[in-house]
Chain A
């Protein structure tokens, strides 16, 4: 059954999110819903409230304040009233509440709502911090760790509720407009929460390599990490690959450019939406709010892709991993293992498959961490050729990590390994030796620096 949405004379889309109170009065006046006498009374009440708030501000010790101070307190009052008015179902209801209850009680309601929003934002911030991506980008780290914490320390809902107080330098993928004060900060943290939650589906080290592939200067750049990750993940799905691999080679990007350049912007949009469905399925994204957040980002990604196709620069949109040459040591996390029941089911399915392509398809769709894949490589009854095919879906980084763990490029005796592990070690060694000179050199370089 459909829910009937109540509307009124005042159109909510004509109201400002940042200056809700003033825009509501302006619209009410434009629609003849409020008399000039009503407005005079509201102005008078606001002025009296300003006097009272200013008196509180000066602790009753000064009857006058600089105009800028009074303007700041006045803006804080109007913002607080706006927060209270937004809590009504429709703008018409909000106007009625203003006319009936008056400025004073609405201000008290607004203050209470602001306090609740502060608490909600603090809780969300704590959750967001737990999901932070471990990458070496200064703006990302300083804004999320120190900047936002600083906001909660200096935010003053009493006298400057409309202020943001800090420079939220790290940009969210979709800019947040038309909000101020705690409403802005709550939305900002919420956006970062979803962006981090999505990025956490990928190994931190892969994201770091993606950023390095984007620019060697990524540590000092003010860039949105989520946008790069989502774009590449969608690109991988368009290529028919597991999005978890994340990297898109220059050849693959060129192939996508060739394919997408033939499409109109609407068709590219459809392709992006299709890829998004595949991405959600592949990464098992079931959280509705997260899906909604990702879906809201798709038009922007469509726009970026279609412009890049027009200019024939899609190879700079889809990024290939690069590896810091100067890094002394690269930490690698194999990720979390799935529960044993699920694992055994997948293992049985793989062993039951006749064709290698089916085995690969199961791995690509069901295995989400290198830790699980490692177990499958040890436990499944793969032939050498099949094992090489499985290695083929891994990034150089993952191959290097596995090789490192099993000392596949070391000449030392492998007495510490059991039979299956020894088999995997030999296969890895053989696989690496069969790669092109360039790829082998890359794996060997990583092998020396990687720490598993």
Chain B
């Protein structure tokens, strides 16, 4: 007999969480955001896939409801892109949980993501993942402060911005 608690856990995860997600509708409705039961199930599947893809296992209700509650007041999320954005945020979250070597708590990472998403990324999930969180992961690995920006990186960004300005003027 192969007694494998972890495998057993994966099956259990599939049965959990959808109810938890639907409960969030009560909280997000005031922002004009709701999820259907089918969309909730899709998010659960995304979560399961992301956990497996990133070699992680989750216990308890997980982080989907935390992401929903943190991001629902974002000016860059509306009912049309709500499910799609949540799916991407879930994938990004688990990926960077690994990349930041589990040194950030769930709440710290979600809050950092929200601040960057609404701030410098201006609602771009691509910028959030490839720039802001990539820098965060590097800072964690090298032991720098979380918001540390290397000088060369700052210059490059300024140059890019300047070039962009010139291009607009032309």
Spell out A's residues near B (CB within 8 Å). 21-22, 25-26, 29, 39, 43-44, 46-47, 50-51, 54-55, 58, 61-68, 70-71, 74, 77-78
Contact = CB atoms under 8 A, between A and B. Distances in A.
B113 interface: no
Nearest to B52: A67
A50 to B, nearest CB: 5
B5 A63 contact: no
Interface in B76-105: 94, 97-98, 102, 105
A51 B107 contact: no
Interface string B45-71: 000000100011111111100000000
Q: How large is the interface on B (under 10, 10 to 19, 20 to 34, 35 or more residues)?
A: 20 to 34
A409 B111 CA distance: 87
A26 B1 contact: yes
Given A51-B60, A65-B57, 19 more contacts: A43-B8, A46-B8, A47-B5, A47-B8, A47-B9, A47-B12, A55-B59, A62-B102, A63-B58, A63-B59, A63-B63, A64-B51, A64-B62, A64-B94, A65-B102, A66-B55, A67-B56, A70-B57, A74-B5
Nearest to A71: B6
Given A43-B8, A47-B8, A50-B9, A63 B3 contact: no
A59 to B, nearest CB: 8
A25 B9 contact: no
B55 A68 contact: yes
A62 B9 CA distance: 17
Contacts of A71: 6
A347 B57 CA distance: 77
A61 B56 contact: no
A63 B61 contact: yes
B106 A63 contact: yes
A224 B52 CA distance: 46
A39 B107 CA distance: 36
Nearest to B58: A64
Nearest to B59: A51
A341 B58 CA distance: 74
Interface string B120-162: 0000000000000000000000000000000000000000000
Contact of A55 (B6, B8, B56, B60): B60
Interface majority SS on B: helix, strand, loop or mixed? mixed
Which of B58, B62, B63 gathers most chain A CB within 10 Å?
A: B58
B40 to A, nearest CB: 18
B102 A67 contact: no
A47 B5 CA distance: 6
A70 B3 CA distance: 14
A77 B94 CA distance: 25
Given A64-B94, A65-B57, A67-B55, A43 B5 contact: yes
Given A47-B9, A50-B9, A64 B57 contact: yes
B107 A70 contact: no
Contacts of A67: 6, 55-57
A255 to B, nearest CB: 57
Contact of A43 (B3, B58, B94, B107): B3
8 contacts: A44-B8, A50-B5, A54-B59, A55-B59, A61-B107, A62-B97, A63-B58, A74-B6
Contact of B56 (A21, A47, A65): A65
B3 A25 contact: yes
Contact of A64 (B3, B5, B97, B107): B97
Contacts of B62: 63-64
Nearest to B9: A47
A50 B13 CA distance: 13
Given A44-B8, A62-B97, A66-B98, A50 B3 contact: no
Contacts of B97: 62, 64
A290 to B, nearest CB: 39
A43 B57 CA distance: 16
Contacts of B102: 58, 62, 65-66
Contacts of A25: 1, 3
Closest 7 CB pairs of A and B: A51-B59, A61-B105, A64-B58, A26-B1, A22-B3, A74-B5, A70-B57
B64 to A, nearest CB: 10
Contacts of B107: 61
A107 to B, nearest CB: 13
A26 B2 CA distance: 8
B6 A70 contact: yes
Nearest to A49: B5
B1 to A, nearest CB: 4
A98 to B, nearest CB: 12
